[in-house]
Structure 1
Amino acid sequence: MQPRAQSIPAVLQTSVSVAMCLVASSWLGCGAPGGSGAPRDEPETSRAALTEWVVNGTFSTGVTAPWWSGANTQSLVEGGRLRVNVAGGTVNRWDALVGQSAIPLVGGRPYTLAFTASASANVPMRATVQLEPSPYTATLDQAVTLDGTARRFTFSFTSSLDTALGQVTFQFGGSGAFTLYLDDISLTSETGSGPVSMTSGFYVDPNSNPAVWARNNSGDSRAARIQSNIASKPGARWFGNWSGDITAAVSGFVNAADAVDKLPVLVAYNIPGRDCGSHSSGGAGSPEAYRAWISSFVTGLGSKPAIVILEPDAVAQLDCLPNDTERQTRLGLLRYATEQLRDRAPNTWAYLDGGNATWIAADTLAQRLESGGVRNIRGFALNVSNYIPTAQSNTYGAAVSAALNTRYGYTRPWVVDTSRNGNGSNGEWCNPAGRKLGATSQVGGGADLLLWLKVPGDSDGPCGIAPTVPAGTFSPDIAVRLIDGT
């Protein structure tokens, strides 16, 4: 089993990425959606079994209830939409607001807030899904700018709140007097659908490298600690050109998880030119071979619930490819993969890898993710096999999602690899000293999911504290140092 490794300095990659986009390289898409046929605004897996939680979001009854208006606002229905007259003299956003309360929120459940809005002046507005009583904790807090053109805004998120006292608010104080219009307000959740709600927790791989080592070395003084701290925790299994019959390998893994009502996490890692020829080089031998491989991978998933991380570094490492033709080819392969997952794996949430928070500017990454087909799937992945703190990754993820919304009119959630980020990053990526295990796999955590994607103890390559350990090989010394943070 091979991991991935980052081979181009982050600062260099960021500057090169931005420069190449400004030169208008066609491989970035620069606003043009990719893939065959018309792009879909939402993946098929997020359309089924939606429950609407907002009442009177279309204002078709001619009344405002149960929407309420706060101080400094006056609301009425006009022309089938909510008109809000906002008074001047306010300072804070929350000094003028409208909202709806008594909305139940379930922790760990995915939701989508959508609305159409315009205003008589160019003004900022804050849209929240939050706790109704103090301290008004928000699980979604998005800033938008309104003008005279009615625009549709859509934000997907996973609730960090578990309460019967949720509320949706629109806050617009501090901008003087103006008139605001709201319509088609919707808060939906995927109740009864999606792989998280279909299972009772994440799957612990009994045949992970740490588990196998601990079983085979039970007399070693380190075995019990590795079993307790790493091998017994849910984590991902990586699939690539070492996996043999890929359909059988994938179906065997997801079926084993399904048999115990658990959610498996898989990493597809077989893009041609993988890792730019560095420690984890390899991949399918041709574009045709990759299409056949990823199609067979998806066949193995079937309708079983699963999480799939798609091709770590494939988007972020576009810079290392020698020409636009090869970059276009890679993006086409990624779009094909996202389309296969969208169309043939109805109970899989897939995330296209987006590198890490120190690598590529958020706006540039958003362009690349769009060109790679992220609109076809659940979202994108960050920090795979790296050490960036979760909070920093979440800030970056929010910026990328906001850039997708600004450029293309949709948002996407993200997942964060937390397997080795307990002590954060020291700027090194290849078996650095002093790193530590991070938060175990869970729903939420500021992202869609926090996941152990890189297998703790598996080497990044012959480097750092393991100068003789090949990439993907388990080292008990690395594992113990991650447990101790040394």
Structure 2
Amino acid sequence: MRWIVRGVVTAALAFGVVIPGSAPTASAATELIVNGAFTTSTANWWGTGNTPISVDAGQLKAAVPGGTAKPWDALVGQKVPAFPIRQGHKYILAFDARASAARTLQTTVQLNAEPFTGTLNKPFAVTTKKQRFAFGFTGGFETTQAELTFQLGGLAGGAYTFWLDNVSLLDITGTPAGNPVAQTNGFAVDPLSNPKEWIRLNPNDDRKTTIDNALASKPMARWFGGWVPNISDEIQQYIAPAIAAGKLPVLVAYNIPGRDACGGHSSGGAGNVAAYKEWIQTFAAAIGTRPALVIVEPDSIGDIGCIKLEEERTFRYEMLNFALQTFKEFAPNTWTYADATNKGWGYDIKLPELSTRLKLAGVANAHGLAVNVSNYFFTDESIAFATELNSHLDTPKPFIVDTSRNGKGPGNEQVDPWCNPRDRKLGSVAQQGGGAEMLLWVKVPGDSDGVCNASTEPAGRFDPNLAMMLINSR
């Protein structure tokens, strides 16, 4: 029902989290790496005898030989000074890397002596373009003698050069949960939104100025799912300029397996539970300690009734619990909002049942609820619905209302009334308050819900005809 197809996406890296630029630092986080910027030297870093290292324009440069058999036959890393790893603590490893040829490499955080037990062991794929990688992980043992390594050997393709920069290993345990609204001033306008991309690709279309002024220039969320080949790079492209401008980014996580089980127009999601958990870990680590809002998995609570197998419903709750807990632990300045359906769907389910689903999904770890996402119910109706739903929860939650398309309320379509109903209208632009914690454009106005009613475009594709309908409707 909600799938967003990005107009332009960058090339994917095969593994890990990719974030161009420098990693953020939280005030309570502890930096474990010394000389991670290589401004003047490679002090505190080492390379195996066959992999000499040097400084190259403020980066560590490693000359990696060909013909090695194992990944660890060519290494660079830091083990002096050794650093502590605490069991159960939360860490984010981040670094910039590139190579003279595409390679899939390995990074570890491990004991610096036999048996070299690792608490992090992750592949990452470099290209000739400098990219930032980040990995969130939980300390698996207690030691004061840990090391960081980059395993560069054991590859076909011969010798190559590897560059490394801006290395950070943060212990974020104890970082206080922050208020992202208080840390910013207003909401971010997405410069790469689907309507912005349509305007860029259609410079001679007479509708472009109207769409830009009324729609594309307004704050709205950016959606992330499996169609984004390099999620962390896209998160960085969206978040970094927003934070630099003092604006609050709004993101939507939409990749749960069995997505859109009821509607079907946006079916898909991660391949399995493990893949989803890896994806969520990537998502949270990509945000890190920066302020953000994340709407977690629209439809995921509402369409549980359309999941036939009990085992799959159990997995759904397991994944939602993991998502909300992971954002809480690895993105402490992010407010998450759990899917709480909409007035029509919620009353059909019955509020006691809906509240039970939310509890099973771990709503206690969410900052709040998200109602009316991608739907059309009036704001006052949605506020009344969320308020009544809150009376069934153990602890009432603040909530946001999606006002992107609710200026005239629901349509009158006989088939799939939620899917591109005709003659709808833009709602209130993003703002704090308005009867809820915030009113937000969560759905991108003009993006199709699927091939239905007022649009012939697939789900998530920007439709300028839909956009003009929303703008011009009276």
Give the TM-score range, shorter chain: 0.5 to 0.7
Query: 1:327 Cα shift?
Result: 0.6
Matched residue, 1:144: none
Counterpart-to-counterpart distance in 2, 1:283 and 1:194: 30
1:353-394 CA-to-partner distances (Å, cap 9, x unmatched) read 111011122222111111111111201101111000010000
Matched residue, 2:305: 319
SS in 2 for 1:195: coil
Q: How does 1:212-361 map to 2 (within 5 A)?
A: 212-276=197-261, 278-360=264-346, 361=350
Query: 1:3 Cα shift?
Result: 2.7
Matched residue, 2:457: 469
Equivalenced residues, count? 296
Counterpart-to-counterpart distance in 2, 1:448 and 1:401: 13
Contact kept, 8 Å, 1:247 with 1:298, in 2: the verdict is: no
Query: 1:218 Cα shift?
Result: 2.7
Residue type at the aligned position of 1:3 = W
SS in 2 for 1:336: helix
Matched residue, 1:374: 363
SS in 2 for 1:358: helix
Query: 1:193 Cα shift?
Result: 4.3
Residue 185 of structure 2: which of 187, 197, 200 is its match? 200
Counterpart-to-counterpart distance in 2, 1:365 and 1:298: 26
Contact kept, 8 Å, 2:2 with 2:374, in 1: the verdict is: no
TM-score with structure 2 length normalisation? 0.61
Counterpart-to-counterpart distance in 1, 2:213 and 2:2: 23
Matched residue, 1:99: none
1:307-353 CA-to-partner distances (Å, cap 9, x unmatched) read 00000001110011112211111001000001001111111010011
Matched residue, 2:466: 478
Query: 1:252 Cα shift?
Result: 2.8
Query: 1:266 Cα shift?
Result: 0.3
Deviates more, 1:309-318 or 1:321-330: 321-330
Counterpart-to-counterpart distance in 1, 2:352 and 2:440: 24
Residue type at the aligned position of 1:398 = T
Residue type at the aligned position of 1:471 = A
Q: How does 1:410-421 map to 2 (within 5 A)?
A: 410-421=395-406
Q: How does 1:108-123 map to 2 (within 5 A)?
A: none
Matched residue, 2:431: 442
Counterpart-to-counterpart distance in 2, 1:362 and 1:218: 48
Residue type at the aligned position of 2:204 = G
Contact kept, 8 Å, 1:2 with 1:238, in 2: the verdict is: no
Matched residue, 1:3: 3
Identity level (%):
48
SS in 2 for 1:238: strand
Counterpart-to-counterpart distance in 1, 2:450 and 2:229: 22
SS in 1 for 2:336: strand
SS in 1 for 2:400: strand
Which structure is higher in RCO with an 8 Å CA cutoff and minimum separation 6? Answer: 1
Residue type at the aligned position of 2:243 = D
Counterpart-to-counterpart distance in 2, 1:435 and 1:364: 30
SS in 2 for 1:349: strand
Contact kept, 8 Å, 1:315 with 1:369, in 2: the verdict is: yes
Contact kept, 8 Å, 1:255 with 1:304, in 2: the verdict is: no
Counterpart-to-counterpart distance in 2, 1:207 and 1:401: 35
Contact kept, 8 Å, 1:274 with 1:314, in 2: the verdict is: yes
Contact kept, 8 Å, 1:218 with 1:224, in 2: the verdict is: no
SS in 2 for 1:196: coil
Q: How does 1:10-159 map to 2 (within 5 A)?
A: none
Counterpart-to-counterpart distance in 1, 2:431 and 2:352: 28
Query: 1:294 Cα shift?
Result: 0.5
Counterpart-to-counterpart distance in 2, 1:2 and 1:386: 10
Q: How does 1:173-188 map to 2 (within 5 A)?
A: none
Query: 1:249 Cα shift?
Result: 2.2
Contact kept, 8 Å, 2:190 with 2:222, in 1: the verdict is: yes
1:86-127 CA-to-partner distances (Å, cap 9, x unmatched) read xxxxxxxxxxxxxxxxxxxxxxxxxxxxxxxxxxxxxxxxxx
Query: 1:2 Cα shift?
Result: 6.0
Give the gaps of 5 or more residues in structure 2.
Answer: 5-27, 29-176
Deviates more, 1:319-328 or 1:245-254: 245-254
Matched residue, 1:211: 196
SS in 2 for 1:359: helix
Q: 1:308 to 1:478 in 2, by over 3 A?
A: same
SS in 2 for 1:309: strand
Residue type at the aligned position of 1:228 = N
